[in-house]
Structure 1
Amino acid sequence: MAADILDLSADVVTLARELCDLPSVSGDETRLADAVEAALREHPHLEVLRDGDTVVARTHLGRARRVVVAGHLDTVPVTGNLPTRLEDGVLWGRGTVDMKAGVAVQLVLAATLTDPVHDVTWVFYDHEEVDASLSGLGRVVRHHPDWVGGDFAVLCEPTAAGLEGGCNGTLRAEVRLRGVAAHSARSWTGVNAVHAAGDVLTRLAAYRPADVEVEGLVFREGLNAVLVHGGTATNVIPDACVVTVNYRFAPSRTVEEAEAHVREVLPGYDVVVVDAAAGARPGLDDPTAQDFAAAVLEVTGGRPSAKQGWTDVARFSALGLPAVNFGPGDPLLAHTQDERCPVDQIHACLAALRGWLTGRRPEGLPLGTS
């Protein structure tokens, strides 16, 4: 197969379409990573590094501060929504929101900004849409932390061209219930573990999640049952049932505090934490973050809000980098059959990032102007 060629001097929307139309479902990113690496190596102002299907490109200009701008290459599975199509100023197709439009913005700027006011590390990583243990960014953080070191990070996750600071933490736990198996014709001889789940579900249904203000941004928490498993046959009283709960908690809580809260809501039950990740505080008091927020405000008129979910900004926060989410596309459309991204948001993100990294701010630039 001939090598795929990406033209980084092309219009950003054209490039976004090319990125979407190349295969890149999680686990199948190699072809796209090859194309991204080859395109970046054409630009001598960049040092290009690679680990697996993660590509890193960075400047070495001796600037006082280094910023990291990151995005993932993979998508969830395609469901008949490729190739892309452009209709009435909207780009349709898998990956347009999550997050090839943002990656296109990164690539255009990586290629064209030869003299930014900060040194820049551009990160394009694999395996974001699957188990966190497979994350290309996580792998680089473990094996090459110096590749992604810096003073501030922007993750180009979809935010509808708004700036979203930090992110919630997430915890997944299993509430394990036990009973006694019996023939269903003689149910009184057993103890039904599925019925025991009723009290757990009632407690969760009655739970009132908190809105927590952290550094001026309000994070919405949530504690919900997401899976229920129990029973072995239609004529057997089940002797085991597992209710899986997911707690989304404000970044002011540690993982340990989040676990303690879940146990407080479900006292006396066998609660086993099976996965957890800390959130990230907004970090908008950082001077570089404030400068970036001002650049976004000048282009879009939008003010920072909280990221209601977990993103890889938490990985940067763990490294000591304040980090924000900023990218084109409505996150509510990510992974949907009708995934689509307005072109004006792509241009707005390009303009804001370019203005910030060059120090040349557009005056009164309306949303959608590049």
Structure 2
Amino acid sequence: MPDTERAVPLLDLAATSVELTRQLCDIESVSGGEKLIADAIMAALAGCEHLEMVRDGDAIVARTTLGRDRRVVIAGHIDTVPINHNLPVVEQDGFLVGRGTADMKGGVAVALKLAAELSAPPVDLTWIWYDHEEVDSALNGLGRLARTRPDLLEGDFAILGEPTSAKIEGGCNGTARANVTLRGLRAHSARSWVGRNAIHDAAPVLAILAAYTPAHIEVDGLVYREGLNAVGITGGVAGNVIPDLAVISINYRFAPSRSAAEAEAHLREVFDGFEIEVTDMAEGARPGLDAPLARLFLAAVGGEAAPKYGWTDVARFSALGIPAVNYGPGDPLKAHADDERVAVSEILECERGLRAWLSAP
């Protein structure tokens, strides 16, 4: 049944954040199908007089306007990768198991509960729940807001509720994709000596990748590990033809101290003499832990911050000049897995940490 014909599910904001996680996960919201869960969030917050609500497609922004001298943005995506017989959610041995539990409806639930309950925080708050994070970056709801309504993203500090096992992870690595193309000459495989095998010519490129030593780069007190890897290889046209073309797809994860131009220059230096085309580039984000609000947040949550090795939407805030960190329940290694799960204790810990920080005088 199309979303437009389905009743809007009821979310119980008086329930625990654990039960709210279950309720959110049981609303299927694979990328492109977020309307129903967005409707449910809008309906649940409709009675919160302390929040100013804005909806942009299936992205929802809820803001306090208390005249505080600082503003914090807390964001999370409401879409998931496709389900695979892993809904509805079940509880097993202290975990909620099912699609979206780790990535990232546990974080969404904590934010939703706190958005409803914290009517007089010491800072103004902007809560954002957005669509299309798990698909092409051009569709990303937070990116769309950054382009069309950057005023809604304004703040002094931002938190993204991506899974971090309830620990603070500062900034994120950048990511680049590139293709190295090898060109040969087609020939019948029975007379291979009259051709040139492009796949064989890929061997030196693979040797470079195999021998590559990733850099460990300290940025504002956190050490980011880089990575350079082949993630795909194509070539060949038929079982009896010497291939005249081979393409190696490469992914480069680079420290947030490097700009996009520096990352591309490094790729071209590593593969000097080969035909290379950079096909995609997203800069990382510096940790942002030197911001005054970040220091207060770290003190409230406790523990030590770690670097985020993968790329996340904190980079979108960083590009707007807003320091940002990742903080949410769930093991990132379980994101997208068929046995995706989140520890109940981590949901409760994230709620405790954020509530303590946002309730302090």
Aligned: 1:121 with 2:126: yes
Match of 2:243 in 1: 238
Q: Distance in 1 between matches of 2:9 and 2:243?
A: 55
How much has 1:88 moved relative to structure 2?
2.4
Match of 1:190 in 2: 195
Match of 1:98 in 2: 103
1:203 to 208, 226, 234: 208
Gaps of 5+ in 1: 361-370
**Once superposed, what is the RMSD of the aligned Cα atoms?**
0.8
Match of 1:44 in 2: 49
Give per-residue Cα distances to partners, 1:253-278, cap 9 Å, x unaligned: 00110111111111111110000000
Match of 1:330 in 2: 331
Give per-residue Cα distances to partners, 1:226-256, cap 9 Å, x unaligned: 0101111111111111101000000000011
Q: Distance in 2 between matches of 1:332 and 1:150?
A: 30
Letter of the 1:180 counterpart: L
Match of 1:316 in 2: 317
Give per-residue Cα distances to partners, 1:121-173, cap 9 Å, x unaligned: 00000000111111000001000000111110000000000000000000000
Give per-residue Cα distances to partners, 1:153-199, cap 9 Å, x unaligned: 00000000000000000000000111111111111111111111111
Match of 2:351 in 1: 350
Q: Distance in 2 between matches of 1:201 and 1:232?
A: 21
Match of 1:307 in 2: 308
2:173 to 150, 168, 184: 168
Give per-residue Cα distances to partners, 1:91-144, cap 9 Å, x unaligned: 111110000000000000000000001100000000001111110000010000
Q: Distance in 2 between matches of 1:4 and 1:211?
A: 47
Q: Distance in 2 between matches of 1:91 and 1:113?
A: 26
Q: Distance in 1 between matches of 2:82 and 2:202?
A: 34
Q: Distance in 1 between matches of 2:120 and 2:330?
A: 28
Please state whether the residue corresponding to 1:232 is helix, strand or coil.
Answer: coil
Gaps of 5+ in 2: 1-5
1:69 to 66, 74, 78: 74
Q: Distance in 1 between matches of 2:44 and 2:300?
A: 28
Q: Distance in 2 between matches of 1:2 and 1:202?
A: 57
Q: Distance in 1 between matches of 2:156 and 2:193?
A: 64
Q: Distance in 2 between matches of 1:58 and 1:42?
A: 14
Letter of the 2:163 counterpart: P
Q: Distance in 1 between matches of 2:130 and 2:288?
A: 23
Q: Distance in 2 between matches of 1:213 and 1:110?
A: 35
Match of 1:269 in 2: 274
Match of 1:140 in 2: 145
Q: Distance in 1 between matches of 2:118 and 2:181?
A: 54
Q: Which aligned pairs between 1:13-92 and structure 2 lie closer than 5 A?
A: 13-92=18-97
Aligned: 1:151 with 2:151: no
Aligned: 1:177 with 2:176: no
Letter of the 1:102 counterpart: G
How much has 1:39 moved relative to structure 2?
1.1
Please state whether the residue corresponding to 2:339 is helix, strand or coil.
Answer: coil
Name the stretch that deviates more: 83-92 or 52-61. Answer: 83-92
Letter of the 1:339 counterpart: E
How much has 1:15 moved relative to structure 2?
0.6
Q: Distance in 1 between matches of 2:61 and 2:275?
A: 44
Q: Distance in 1 between matches of 2:7 and 2:227?
A: 48
Q: Distance in 2 between matches of 1:253 and 1:54?
A: 31
Q: Distance in 2 between matches of 1:59 and 1:140?
A: 18
Please state whether the residue corresponding to 2:127 is helix, strand or coil.
Answer: strand
How much has 1:2 moved relative to structure 2?
1.9
2:289 to 276, 284, 290: 284
Give per-residue Cα distances to partners, 1:258-317, cap 9 Å, x unaligned: 1111111111111100000000000111100100011110xxxx2101001100000000
How much has 1:337 moved relative to structure 2?
1.3
Structure 1 stretches of 4+ with a deviation exceeding 4 A read none
Query: Aligned residues: percent identity?
Result: 62
Please state whether the residue corresponding to 2:199 is helix, strand or coil.
Answer: helix
